[in-house]
Amino acid sequence: MIKLIVDNIENYNYTLKDENNNLYELNLEFYDLDKKIKIGDTIYLPKQLLNEKGLYSFGVIKRIDNNLEEYIKLIIDNKEYYLERYYG
């Protein structure tokens, strides 16, 4: 997984920045979170998602398996959230 910082948000379009200041544009939707993602929050994503185009939807984990490509981690206000991919 790669650590990314939310640099900008416009609707579902997120601009994410890595530790080398590379910018990535992704269309992301999040479900079942009790907080909204803000600029400056952290998202850990599987690296291959950065090379793909499309809409990605994530929600709170309902099942656990060993396919780490289906999971992401968010850090919002110093609280960790683990989500699974619903779509995309």
Q: How do the pLDDT tens digits run along the chain, 88 residues long?
A: 899 999 999 999 999 999 999 999 999 999 988 889 999 999 999 888 887 777 899 998 866 666 656 788 889 998 988 888 887 6
Give the residue among 61, 5, 53, 59 at the shortest CA–CA distance from 27. 53
DSSP H or E stretch at residue 71 = strand 71-76
SS3 (DSSP) at 25: strand
**pLDDT of amino acid 26:** 93
Please count the residues of the chain: 88
**pLDDT of amino acid 63:** 64
- CB-based contact 86:31 (threshold 8 Å): yes
